[in-house]
């Protein structure tokens, strides 16, 4: 059953590619031929088997992509924003037509469950529709001028070509947050996907640009699959790219920020999350249990919004932990293409090693293992990268709690007074997503207040994972401060221009300054 399910999925997703054995990883308005290029073999974390090969960008390909981006940006920026929005909407509709196959490709490539893979594609569809509406709402302010017969206003212009570097855990959705919003603003995107997830990027790029071509538009979504030295570093240093959006680790994000800032470019950073859920004694316990489990286990704990710390009021601590541990014992771990599985594999061997090392270090620091803690062997999937969902009782001063491990490891802590819970919550360097479970209005409002959660995302009676596209997504502190997706995040992809128009016959100066010339 397991092997046949995987074979069926591979057969379905083959239709997304023109070549079944080797796909070009470079799109510069045309797909660059693979001959003479280095090749990357794509391994599914489900079973360790090859699912495809991708030719990687050469240095000459980089320049062709940049030149294509420059030409496209000039033409695309002259198209009215609502027309651009309509084009993005048609891309979203095309993605919906291929939703099932694209979702299966996500599952095969990064190990997400079928539901999560479909959900990722739905997120692209949703952001495309959001961007289409946004294309008629790129508002600028008009301000009253202190000078007679003057008008003062601000307007927003496209930046031009921008670079988007994405991580494996959301191999397409995070790109769409950037690319679709940037497209309606008038920008062209050069996408460098994770080396662990190039196939999804190729399929999405192909579908999106086919739609644009059918509408008579230039190629707006360009692609550069390649390693950091050939592609990534060049993007960071390229003055032709006024904005680099990067999703990844804190350490790499610091490097990105430094390199881009050295040329006075902009960086939009979505970095690590070390997210916590606070469970009050006044919580709806069943709701809290379900939300914590989803937050800690979805995508096998490989979301930047995954719940990594659980902070429970001491009067319910033992009851809550006992219930959660029993719940963990019922969770299906294995082939994510099968219906009864909620936790699939980690992305690769290095992720498994990181999981095991973190558990060993936590125990050295005094942590007590409640469940899990081992690599999981699945007989039918000997090449897959599976681990057991893990809960570790911890103390807030353990150094391991300051780190983010991309794996299903949950550290459980207890608190007495509410202020203590907030202090524990805010004690880590990251600040992405947070949650509190309580039926007490005062506790909820305290957590939402300026003195409460210090994260960019705050949730009351819902978990840390699973943000909606309508709100701006991003975090504070070591998470980088970036904002993507909804609200007014579109302004990151535009340049603001303040315009002053004198429609009178005199030349009054601001602040009452006089400059009389005879």
Which are the catalytic amino acids?
270, 304
As a whole number of angstroms, the distance between CA 516 and CA 514 comes to 6
Rounded to 5 degrees, what are φ and ψ at 486? Answer: -90, -160
As a whole number of angstroms, the distance between CA 24 and CA 17 comes to 10
Q: What is the Cα gyration radius of the chain?
A: 25
Which residues make Cβ contacts (< 8 Å) with residue 389, sequence separation at least 6? 296, 297, 301, 328, 331, 333, 343, 371, 372, 408, 410
Task: Name beta bridge partners: 279.
Answer: 312, 437
Positions of E strands within 102-147: 142-143
Helix (H) or strand (E) holding 100: helix 99-110
Q: Where are the alpha helices (DSSP H) in 263-306?
A: 285-297
Helix (H) or strand (E) holding 309: strand 307-313
What letter does residue 36 receive in the DSSP assignment? T
Measured torsion, CA atoms of residues 201, 122, 211, 37, in degrees rounded to the nearest 10: 10
> What sign does the CA torsion over 348, 178, 23, 120 have?
positive
Three-state SS sequence of 162-198: EEEECCCCCCCHHHHHHHHHHHHHCCEEEEECCCCCH
As a whole number of angstroms, the distance between CA 201 and CA 161 comes to 18
3-state secondary structure (DSSP) of residue 484: strand
Task: Name beta bridge partners: 24.
Answer: 55
């Amino acid at each position: 059953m397991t092997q046949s399910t995987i074979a069926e999925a591979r057969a379905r997703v083959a239709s997304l590619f023109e070549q079944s054995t080797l796909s070009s990883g470079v799109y510069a308005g045309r797909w660059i031929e693979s001959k003479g290029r280095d090749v990357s073999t794509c391994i599914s974390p489900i079973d360790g088997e090859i699912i495809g090969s991708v030719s990687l960008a050469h240095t000459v390909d980089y320049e062709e992509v940049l030149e294509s981006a420059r030409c496209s940006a000039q033409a695309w920026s002259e198209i009215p924003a609502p027309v651009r929005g309509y084009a993005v909407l048609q891309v979203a509709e095309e993605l919906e037509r291929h939703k099932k196959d694209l979702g299966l490709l996500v599952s095969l490539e990064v190990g997400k469950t079928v539901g999560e893979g479909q959900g990722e594609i739905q997120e692209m569809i949703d952001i495309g529709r959001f961007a289409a509406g946004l294309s008629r709402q790129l508002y600028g302010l008009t301000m009253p001028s202190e000078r007679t017969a003057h008008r003062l206003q601000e307007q927003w212009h496209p930046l031009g070509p921008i670079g988007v570097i994405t991580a494996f855990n959301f191999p397409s959705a995070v790109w769409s947050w950037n690319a679709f919003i940037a497209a309606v603003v008038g920008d062209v995107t050069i996408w460098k996907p994770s080396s662990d997830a190039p196939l999804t990027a190729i399929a999405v790029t192909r579908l999106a640009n086919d739609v644009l071509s059918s509408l008579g538009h230039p190629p707006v979504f360009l692609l550069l699959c390649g390693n950091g030295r050939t592609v990534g570093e060049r993007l960071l240093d390229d003055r032709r790219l006024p904005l680099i959006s990067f999703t990844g680790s804190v350490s790499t994000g610091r490097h990105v920020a430094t390199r881009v800032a050295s040329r006075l470019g902009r960086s939009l950073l979505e970095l690590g999350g070390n997210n916590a859920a606070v469970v009050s004694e006044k919580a709806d316990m069943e709701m809290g249990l379900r939300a914590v489990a989803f937050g800690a286990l979805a995508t096998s704990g490989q979301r930047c919004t995954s719940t990594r710390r659980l902070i429970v009021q001491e009067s319910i601590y033992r009851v809550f932990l006992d219930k959660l541990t029993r719940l963990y014992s019922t969770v299906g771990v294995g082939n994510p293409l099968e219906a009864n599985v909620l936790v699939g594999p980690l992305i690769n061997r290095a992720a498994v090693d990181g999981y095991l090392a973190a558990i060993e270090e936590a125990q050295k620091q005094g942590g007590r293992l409640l469940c899990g803690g081992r690599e999981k062997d699945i007989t039918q999937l000997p090449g897959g990268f599976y681990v057991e969902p893990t809960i570790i009782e911890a103390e807030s001063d353990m150094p391991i709690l300051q780190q983010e491990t991309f794996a299903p490891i949950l550290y459980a802590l207890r608190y007495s007074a509410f202020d203590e819970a907030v202090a524990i919550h805010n004690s880590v360097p990251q600040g992405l997503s947070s949650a509190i479970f309580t039926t007490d209005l005062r506790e909820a409002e305290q957590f939402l207040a300026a003195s409460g959660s210090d994260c960019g995302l705050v949730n009351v009676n819902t978990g840390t994972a699973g943000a909606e596209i309508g709100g701006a997504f991003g975090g504070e502190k070591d998470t980088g401060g970036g904002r993507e997706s909804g609200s007014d995040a579109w302004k990151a992809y535009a340049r603001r221009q303040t315009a002053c128009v004198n429609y009178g016959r005199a030349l009054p100066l601001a602040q009452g300054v006089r400059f009389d010339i005879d």
